[in-house]
Amino acid sequence: MAKRSLLDIKFKVIDGKLDCSYRQLTTLEGVPHSVTTLYCNGNRLTSLKGCPNSVTNLDCSRNQLKSLKDVPDSVTTLDCSRNQLTSLKYVPDSVTTLYCGFNQLTTLEDVPDSVTRLYCYINQLTTLEGCPKSVTTLECNHNQLISLKGCSDSVTRLCCYVNQLTTLEGCPKSVTTLECHNNQLISLEGCPDSVTRLECSDNQLTTLEGVPHSVTKLDCSHNQLISLADVPNSVTMLWCSRNQLTSLKGVPNSVTILHCYDNRLTSLEGCPDSVTTLDCRYNQLTTLEGVPNSVTTLHCWDNPLNDQYKDKLNLL
């Protein structure tokens, strides 16, 4: 592979920023020492040698890196995603935001304690052991996790969807946003009381027991639910589509947005008067009786409605 550096192309440094992405570079030789933000993604780099110590924001994603050696100690935001990394060794202690998705990582052991935002999605992680205690935002989706053990106690936003989780035990009590859809959960036991946004769709839930009373946005679609009896009164936005519901009884009066499409509903009885947006498509409804007067947006097509209701299919 022929060597290609900044010496072979035209470039400009504007306000400390240099964008040399997608220029088929094989080396960072020639990067000026005035650069603080460097976009060198989408090249053919196998090494970061030549990256100046002035750089604080480094995007070296979409290259051929197998090591992070030569990342300057000045870097605070590092995007090394979409490379061939098997280790995070050499990530400097200065880094606070780390994007390392789309690699071949099996461990977080080398992540420095300085990191507060960690995006390690789409790797080969089976455990969160090694996750720094300083992390507040953690996106570890699309891995092979079977447990949340090792997750930092300071995490407030946790995205752990598309893993192999069967339980939420180990989920930190500090979490307010929890995205745990597309796992193998049969229970929400372990979901912390701090959660306000819960996305637990595409699991194997038969009950909503365990949903914290702090939750305002709940997506429990595509499970095996037959009842909404355990939805807490705090919920204002509810997605319960693609279940086995035959009734809306249990939907609390706090709900204003209700998506209950693709169930087995034959009646809208139980739909609370607080609802303004109602999506009840793909059910077995023959009548629209039970639609609250408060509803301003109604989607009800693909039901066997009686003729007298068909002019209301797109009510706005």
Instruction: Note the pTM of the prediction, 2 decimals.
Output: 0.94
Mean pLDDT on 195-203: 98
How much is the mean pLDDT over the chain?
A: 96
Domain contains 224:
yes
235-267 pLDDT, tens digit per residue, is 999 999 999 999 999 999 999 999 999 999 999
Domain contains 303:
yes
Residues ≥6 apart with Cβ < 8 Å to 129: 107, 108, 109, 149, 150
The phi, psi pair for 312, rounded to 5°, reads: -110, 15
CB-count burial class (<10 Å; 0-12, 13-18, 19+) for 193: exposed
Q: In the numeric block, which tokens belong to residue 260?
A: 């209950």
Cβ count within 10 A of residue 63:
23
Indicate if the pLDDT at residue 315 is higher than 60. Answer: no
Domain contains 292:
yes
Domain contains 313:
yes
| Total of domains in the chain | 1
What per-residue confidence (pLDDT) applies to 316?
39
Using pLDDT thresholds of 50, 70 and 90, give the confidence band for residue 310.
low
Mean pLDDT on 11-16: 96
Domain contains 25:
no
Residues ≥6 apart with Cβ < 8 Å to 312: 288, 298, 300
Name the residue range of residue 244's domain.
210-316
Domain contains 284:
yes
C-beta separation of 203 from 187 below 8 A: no
What per-residue confidence (pLDDT) applies to 307?
79
119-128 pLDDT, tens digit per residue, is 999 999 999 9
Domain contains 135:
no
Supply the DSSP string of 233-256, one letter for each residue.
Answer: TT-SEEE--SS--S--TT--TT-S
Domain contains 229:
yes
Indicate if the pLDDT at residue 313 is higher than 70. Answer: no
Query: Percentage helix, strand, coil, to 5, in the chain?
Result: 5, 15, 80
Supply the DSSP string of 169-236, one letter for each residue.
Answer: TT--TT-SEEE--SS--S--TT--TT-SEEE--SS--S--TT--TT-SEEE--SS--S--TT--TT-S
For residue 263, what is the domain's CATH number? 3.80.10.10
Distance CA 199, CA 221 (A): 9
